[in-house]
Amino acid sequence: MTKTRLATNERSRRAGRETAVGAHQHKRTGIDISLALLTPIVGRHFWDKYHLRDPLNRTLRYGVKTMFSAAGATSRQFKKVQGLRGGPTRLGPNGAKRTADFDLTPDDDQKLIVATVEQFAEEFLRPAAHDADAAASYPPDLIAKAAELGVT
């Protein structure tokens, strides 16, 4: 006998097979099981006959998208914050630290915009509101005046 034939005979005696294909059973994952269950169901002509193929595809696409986003969120690790000394710090009374850094007082340009819009509302919008409401449309001259101010 030749060496290759001898090696083949030894392999077949040991494993009881000619090849190693299928010798190791792989652990089945959730995706493997769901594909094995869905493949025969999706291949039916029933879905096309009753025009349910598109709703089925949308449902499966949404389910897969949700599953992968949930799996990604659960496997994501948070980064450790570096450089903190002494642990967390508390805010002063009434959040004094936060309000000192953030000011909502309007500047001069913003005050001018507020005054202009208030004047426009007093002179043009409020007098025309009742008629525009009754007509269920915007007056064209009012739209033109608002466009002059940059209000669209």
Is it the case that residue 110 has pLDDT exceeding 80?
yes
pLDDT band at 43 (very low <50, low <70, confident <90, very high): confident
How many whole angstroms separate alpha carbon 14 and alpha carbon 10?
6
**What whole-number percentage of the chain has pLDDT above 70?**
71
Q: Of 29, 33, 28, which is closest to residue 71 (Cα–Cα)? A: 29
CA-to-CA dists, residue 59 to 36, 47, 50, 85, 146, angstroms: 17, 13, 16, 50, 47
Q: Report which of 39, 85, 77 is spatially closest to residue 60, judged by C-alpha positions.
A: 39
DSSP string spanning 103-148? -----HHHHHHHHHHHHHIIIIIHHHHHHHHHHTS--HHHHHHHHH
Per-residue confidence (pLDDT) for residue 109, from 0 to 100: 92
pLDDT at 132 over 80: yes
| pLDDT at residue 7 in the model | 52
pLDDT at 108 > cutoff 90: yes
Q: Residue 121: pLDDT band by 50, 70, 90 thresholds?
A: very high
% of the chain beyond a pLDDT of 90: 16
Q: Are the CB atoms for 91 and 98 separated by under 8 Å?
A: yes
Is residue 85 classed as helix, strand or coil in its secondary structure? coil
Q: Write out pLDDT tens, residues 51-86.
A: 988 998 899 889 888 988 888 888 877 777 666 666
HSE of 151 in the Cβ direction (CA atoms, 13 Å)? 14
Q: Domain locations in the chain?
A: 42-74, 106-149
